[in-house]
Structure 1
Amino acid sequence: MYILLNAAYPFFTFASKVEYMTIEFMDHQELANEIIALNKDYRVMITSELHEPIQPDGRKLLLKNENTLNKDEIQNILYWKPQTVGEVIYNYWD
């Protein structure tokens, strides 16, 4: 099992497999609760959120969830063409 923490945002999750361009996300609520108890600033990302598709539309990006992505992050998404929110948050291009 892996614990993944985003480098720029306080988002963490769990994975059963981490390889170049492949991450198999998994939920582990008990351990998530323990980590959050240590640092309330962290937010656990659950698999349903991470598997949410993203939809690049030309020069725009359509996401169902609220986000604070900056211009450079959006440019990277449009360039690398990740398919899911999880591929954006835990990517290999940063």
Structure 2
Amino acid sequence: MSEAPEVTREPVMTPARAVIGLCLVAPFVAMLWVGSYAKTDPTFIGIPFFYWYQMLWVLLSTALTTTAYQLWQRDQRARAARKGGASQ
């Protein structure tokens, strides 16, 4: 019988992918945990905490999504380079 060639696989879960997942999950957790921000104090320039906290997460979500995208692109380029292919 012939032996099957040894196939080496790259790990599916890398540290970069773990950070990407955290960047994408954090806004959901923050917004679904309503008890943490369902209050009026402290106010910021007259705006109750409930509202400015949500608006702050709009900006934070944008930054985290951008970070996740950049990490994903870097991860894909590194994988393509290891395989010897051209990056897209």
The normalised TM-score by structure 2 is: 0.20
Q: Which has the larger radius of gyration?
A: 2
The normalised TM-score by structure 1 is: 0.19
Which protein has the bigger strand share? 1
Which protein has the bigger helix share? 2
Name the structure, 1 or 2, with higher relative contact order (CA <8 Å, separation 6+).
2
